[in-house]
């Protein structure tokens, strides 16, 4: 198996400099070889597209397994749906693009999200009303303890808002090898988001095709999220906090413009409605950060993005500690003003 001792900054979209040994897994045998040779007590780091990781230089002695298992296989082609199995190392957006081009729906609103297919179940990637949990049939994993390949069903994955088994009890236990998706042949639901609706009105599109929905999402994301190839970032840096209805009502007394999203049970089904508040509500972290005056805020080597306060950017030569410092300042400021503790969205590896 191919291995290198390198600066892994280019392997992550936040581009923080860290020296580490990287092993490239192109198949299951490589994964087995990697774990067979791993010294006892050493915890490896599994890397996909690196678009949701903040890696500390302290990991020096932890080897990195870079997942490069490729392959796209149609498992079953039925009248109403298709089951497609993809290697964990496949590029997510290439998959979305191909699905749209072949009229398969279910993932079009998750266009232009950086990263690999194998990383999407970890944080239950979502955008514009779609979440990967709604299309994932199962996830094939390598169990590090008994070195066996297992299949986790959708239910086994314990998906919820930006969360899954892979961020909790399955952390350091499973390596995701492949993901099987169920995509539908039926016409897609048009995302209900205001920005998407506005885009179709402005462009005189009445019945958008999958490709037109994809184009709309790409355009909208472009205005709100910086291209990680040009501006180093990990997308949303914070989760949108879900708070009690009464707590939200109190804030709304002082801030009539506060956007809020209804959350129904388990905190994972949402309906966008900016004025009505029910049992629990999701408040956009970007709005909270903007209200404490930290949109486009310069922390030195780190800043919040000028068009979207939820995105933290590495201006070029930031360190892990610079990111931590900026994050702590944002959390403290939001807490001081609103009494809400923001949680980070990317995974911290140290």
Catalytic residue selected from 236, 260, 270, 333: 236
What is the C-alpha end-to-end distance of the chain, expressed in Å?
A: 25
Q: Does 199 bind ligand EPU (CB under 6 A)?
A: no
| Closer residue to ligand EPU, CB minimum distance, 27 or 268 | 268
Interface with ligand EPU (CB under 6 A), residue from 33, 143, 247, 290: 290
C-alpha separations of 94 from 89, 97, 108, 140, 224 in Å:
11, 5, 11, 20, 21
Q: Does 260 bind ligand EPU (CB under 6 A)?
A: no
Interface with ligand EPU (CB under 6 A), residue from 64, 295, 299, 330: 295
| Closer residue to ligand EPU, CB minimum distance, 93 or 140 | 93
Q: Which stretch binds ligand EPU (CB under 6 A): 27-35, 38-46, 201-209, 280-288?
A: 280-288
Could you tell me if residue 202 is left (phi over 0), alpha (psi between -120 and 50 degrees) or otherwise beta?
Answer: alpha
Instruction: Report the nearest approach of ligand EPU to the CB of residue 251 (Å).
Output: 14
Q: Does 272 bind ligand EPU (CB under 6 A)?
A: no
Q: Does 226 bind ligand EPU (CB under 6 A)?
A: no
Interface with ligand EPU (CB under 6 A), residue from 16, 99, 294, 310: 310
Q: Give the footprint of ligand EPU on residues 75-94 (CB under 6 A).
A: none
Interface with ligand EPU (CB under 6 A), residue from 48, 286, 330, 334: 286
Interface with ligand EPU (CB under 6 A), residue from 138, 236, 314, 344: 236
- Contact by Cβ (8 Å): 315, 8: no
Q: Which stretch binds ligand EPU (CB under 6 A): 90-98, 206-214, 235-243, 320-328?
A: 235-243
C-alpha Rg value of the chain to the nearest Å: 20
For the chain, give the longest Cα–Cα distance.
61
* Residue 162 annotated to the active site: yes
Question: How far apart (Å, rounded) are the C-alpha atoms in residues 100 and 256?
Answer: 39
| Closer residue to ligand EPU, CB minimum distance, 85 or 282 | 282
- Contact by Cβ (8 Å): 241, 216: no
| Closer residue to ligand EPU, CB minimum distance, 31 or 220 | 220
Binding mask 102-141 for ligand EPU (x = CB under 6 A): -------------------------xx-------------
CB atoms within 10 A of CB 298: 12
Distance of CA 231 to the CA centre of its chain: 17
Instruction: Report the nearest approach of ligand EPU to the CB of residue 113 (Å).
Output: 7
* Residue 345 annotated to the active site: yes
Strand blocks (E) in the chain: 3-7, 19-25, 45-47, 53-55, 64-67, 72-77, 81-87, 126-127, 130-131, 136-143, 148-153, 174-184, 232-236, 242-244, 261-264, 269-272, 280-282, 302-305, 308-314, 347-349
Sign, CA torsion 105/200/234/14: positive
DSSP symbol at 251: H
Question: How far apart (Å, rounded) are the C-alpha atoms in residues 103 and 108?
Answer: 10
CB atoms within 10 A of CB 342: 23
Q: Does 160 bind ligand EPU (CB under 6 A)?
A: no
Catalytic residues: 162, 236, 345
Binding site for ligand EPU (CB under 6 A): 127-128, 224-225, 235-236, 239-240, 259, 284, 286-287, 290, 295, 308-310, 345
């Amino acid at each position: 198996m191919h291995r290198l001792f390198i600066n892994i900054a280019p392997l992550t979209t936040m581009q923080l400099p860290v020296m580490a040994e990287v092993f490239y897994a192109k198949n299951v045998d490589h994964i087995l070889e990697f774990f067979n040779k791993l010294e006892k007590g050493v915890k490896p780091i599994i890397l996909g597209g690196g678009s949701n990781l903040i890696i500390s230089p302290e990991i020096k002695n932890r080897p990195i397994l870079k997942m490069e298992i490729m392959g796209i296989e149609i498992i079953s082609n039925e009248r109403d749906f298709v089951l497609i199995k993809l290697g964990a190392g496949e590029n997510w957006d290439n998959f979305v693009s191909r699905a749209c081009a072949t009229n398969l729906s279910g993932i079009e609103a998750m266009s232009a999200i950086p990263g690999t297919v194998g990383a999407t179940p970890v944080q239950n990637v979502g955008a514009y009303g779609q979440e990967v949990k709604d299309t994932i049939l199962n996830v094939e994993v390598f169990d590090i303890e008994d070195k066996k390949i297992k299949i986790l069903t959708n239910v086994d994955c314990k998906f919820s808002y930006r969360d899954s088994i892979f961020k909790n009890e399955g952390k350091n236990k499973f390596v995701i090898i492949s993901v099987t998706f169920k995509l539908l042949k039926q016409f897609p639901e048009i995302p209900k988001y205001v920005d998407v609706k506005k885009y179709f009105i402005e462009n005189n599109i009445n019945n958008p095709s999958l490709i037109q929905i994809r184009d709309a999402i790409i355009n909208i994301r472009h205005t709100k999220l910086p291209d990680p190839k040009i501006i180093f970032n990990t997308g949303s840096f914070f989760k949108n906090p879900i708070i009690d209805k009464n707590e939200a009502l109190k804030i709304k007394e002082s801030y009539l413009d506060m956007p809020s999203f209804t959350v129904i049970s388990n905190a994972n089904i949402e309906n966008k409605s900016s004025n009505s508040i029910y049992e629990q509500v999701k408040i956009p972290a970007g709005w909270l950060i903007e209200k404490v005056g930290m949109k486009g805020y310069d922390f030195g080597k780190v800043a919040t993005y000028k068009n979207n306060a939820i995105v933290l950017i590495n201006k070029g030569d930031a360190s892990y500690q610079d990111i931590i410092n900026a994050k702590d300042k944002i959390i403290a400021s939001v807490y001081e003003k609103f009494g809400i503790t923001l949680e980070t969205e990317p995974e911290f590896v140290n």
